[in-house]
Chain A
Amino acid sequence: MKLKLNTPLGRKIFGRTIRAFSISFWVMVIAFALMRVTPGDPASARLGAGAEEEAIEALREQLGLNVNPFQQFINYIRDLSQGDLGTSLVSGLPVGEIISKTFPLTLTYIAFSFFFAFLISIPIGVLIGWSNKASWVYSFRTFTSVVIATPNFFIAMVAILFFSVQRDWAPVFGYEPGFPGNMKYLWLPIAINTLILVSIISRVLLASVIDTRSEEFVETGIIRGVSRIRFFWFYILKPSLAPTIVLMSYMAGTMLGATVILETIFSLPGIGRELVGAVLASDYPVVQGILIFFGVITVFLSFFGDLFAYLLDRRVKL
């Protein structure tokens, strides 16, 4: 599709793009501010109470804290615009490299979870929503609200208890890279994530299918005698999908947050475990880098989610 800026569609998309970039900028500003505004000196905190004055001063210089805050901000933005997220205080590796090494694993199992979740949620949401039987709808809603209210780490612990401790179906923790081998370690985290995602997605889909069901245009579709497949797509799923996608892109950030805990439980060397490790080691540049990364990713996920939903259904506000 050719995108022209002078059409209403083009202008809308352009405006939304500008907004995504401006929010990303503010994400960086906030990540910068958090480290400076909070009480205490990062350098002395990292080195501990007994550190020598010179060592602290050296670290301050390494962190770029020895100049005035305004200059710090200029330097920070300059480095970021060159793609430089800083260097780890622990390993000495560039933060960008750490992210690019750890993120693919996280992405892999999140992508698998979303894939399976949609595969399961669509039939469930549509069937229960279309039937609109009060008893089904409410028992389903109660079940999903229980799953959503349960912290994922507790679900994970119970799953480990059943699948790893009582039966030897999944290793308790550990990881080995490479395709079929890694699935041995990944299937349980994927299954847990999928269960939680299914609860969220099918719930929203269910609600919007129920809304769609009572729409006037569905009536005209039935009267028009549309074939079953066309009816399923154009009159049930497509009009109901947009709110689900918008919510998913909005929830994606929360999902990313939840993976931090799962990765720690299953000892998966993903970006979430990296973050927790960095926090425990007071590795400021890594924490800040991953924070920015998560923030920007969330901004663009919600951008693409909104955009996709808008292209699917023009009733969506962009």
Chain B
Amino acid sequence: MLATIQDLRIDVRVTRRIRLRIVDTASLTIQKGQLLGLIGESGSGKTMLCRALVGTLNRRGAYIESGSIDFEGIDLVKAKKKDWRNIRGHKIGYIPQSALAGPNPVMRIGAQLAEAINQSGKKPSDEVRRRALELLELVQIRRPEVVLKQYPYELSGGMKQRVMIACAIAQNPKLIVADEPTTGLDVTVQAEIMELLRSIRKEFDTSIILVSHDLQLINSVCDDIVVMHAGATIEKVPSSKVTAALHPYTHALYDSRIDLVEPRGKLRTIKGQPPSVGKWPTGCRFADRCDFVKDVCRTTDPTPFAQVNENQWSACIRHKEIYGGAK
């Protein structure tokens, strides 16, 4: 097991007194070389979970209230600034959300890559340059010598994201956190980036956490899927078994895919809005939108995120009743 997140709760400071819980009991595990998809609607807390993994919650006034993140035996919740220096980049790489705003606009690509390669600042410059060229080739950028001297505004969105990937893998990290890496990119470019992530995983045996709100995308790329809803992880399921999911929310997400629409048919949507942060109901937070809701759903609190079979977890207390146990 490379990393284990256990019962994580994240709070954000709104004012001096008011605290808002944005992640409430998130648990997941990731194995070496695994490509894990993390899916959820906006506001479900997936981005905050990523930030917890790279230790930048603080910047947005958020902090880990309780729980643990075990990464190769180190508890990241208790990591000090000095510890993070050895973890970020070296052990955990990060690919930012927006390809367009990811690279620093006032630095040349070469300088940014050099920062990522040479964190200690002790490597000779020709070695740094050689590695930079190697990395750019690895992420399939043509004419890397030219790109090194360019500014981000001269690159296309896809190119920028390739550069960000190159930065993330510069130190051969064991885990890469990719927070919606294809937001704002064309579908074709999106597919290329996904293919690139897969090939990196294959070549270096890197674990990748891929965050998205697009189940279809995650389903086609990842080994396992973790679904988040209203701050909690509610289901973990292998992507091959997504049709046999054990939580009504996962099914609802799966059924609302656009490609299921028949000609002149109706697009299926999930009724209602996800409960907004800070206004989560007691009991199952999906209850208001669930087709199978019963009173017991609203009274059992907290709903346990329990292992159902070898590689499937669900937070639905009535999954047996609804889906007739694991298939």
Residues of A near any B CB (own CB < 8 A): 215-217, 219-227, 230, 234-235, 238-239, 312-315
List B residues 31-83 near A (Cβ within 8 Å).
Answer: 54, 56, 59
| Residues of chain B with a CB closer than 8 A to A220's CB | 94, 96, 102-104, 164, 167
Majority secondary structure, A binding face: helix
Take A216-B98, A217-B101, A219-B96 as given contacts and tell me if A224 and B107 are in contact as well, using a CB distance cutoff of 8 Å: no
| 6 more CB-based (< 8 A) A-B contacts, given A217-B105, A235-B104, A313-B105 | A216-B98, A221-B115, A222-B59, A222-B88, A225-B85, A239-B106
Interface check B151, CB cutoff 8 A: yes
CA distance A225 to B81 in the complex (A): 10
B96–A224 touching, CB < 8 Å: no
| Residues of chain A with a CB closer than 8 A to B101's CB | 215-217
| Residues of chain B with a CB closer than 8 A to A313's CB | 105-106
**Which residue in chain A gives the minimum CB-CB distance to B60?**
A214
CA distance A154 to B275 in the complex (A): 56
**Which residue in chain B gives the minimum CB-CB distance to A132?**
B61
| Residues of chain A with a CB closer than 8 A to B84's CB | 225
Interface check B153, CB cutoff 8 A: yes
Which of B85, B96, B153, B167 is within 8 Å of A315, CB to CB?
Answer: B153
Which of B88, B96, B115 is within 8 Å of A216, CB to CB?
Answer: B96
A223–B94 touching, CB < 8 Å: yes
CA distance A156 to B107 in the complex (A): 43
| Contacts A/B (CB < 8 Å), 27 sampled | A216-B97, A216-B101, A217-B96, A217-B101, A217-B105, A219-B96, A221-B104, A221-B115, A222-B56, A223-B88, A224-B116, A224-B119, A225-B85, A225-B88, A225-B89, A225-B119, A230-B115, A234-B106, A234-B111, A235-B104, A238-B106, A239-B104, A239-B106, A313-B105, A313-B106, A314-B153, A315-B105
| Residues of chain B with a CB closer than 8 A to A225's CB | 84-85, 88-89, 119
CA distance A217 to B164 in the complex (A): 10
Interface check B121, CB cutoff 8 A: yes
| Residues of chain B with a CB closer than 8 A to A315's CB | 105, 153
Please classify how large the interface on chain B is, using the bins under 10, 10 to 19, 20 to 34, 35 or more: 20 to 34
Q: How many Å from the CB of A135 to the closest CB on chain B? A: 9
**Which residue in chain B gives the minimum CB-CB distance to A8?**
B154
Q: How many Å from the CB of B45 to the closest CB on chain A? A: 17
| Residues of chain B with a CB closer than 8 A to A234's CB | 104, 106-107, 111
| Residues of chain B with a CB closer than 8 A to A314's CB | 105-106, 151, 153
A224–B115 touching, CB < 8 Å: yes
| Residues of chain A with a CB closer than 8 A to B153's CB | 314-315
B88–A226 touching, CB < 8 Å: no
Chain A CB within 10 A, most for which of B98, B104, B105: B104
Q: How many Å from the CB of B315 to the closest CB on chain A? A: 30
Which of B59, B88, B105, B106 is within 8 Å of A224, CB to CB?
Answer: B88
| Residues of chain A with a CB closer than 8 A to B85's CB | 225
CA distance A235 to B103 in the complex (A): 11
Which of A215, A223, A230 is within 8 Å of B56, CB to CB?
Answer: A223
A224–B102 touching, CB < 8 Å: no
CA distance A240 to B103 in the complex (A): 15
| Residues of chain B with a CB closer than 8 A to A230's CB | 115
Take A216-B102, A217-B105, A239-B105 as given contacts and tell me if A224 and B97 are in contact as well, using a CB distance cutoff of 8 Å: no
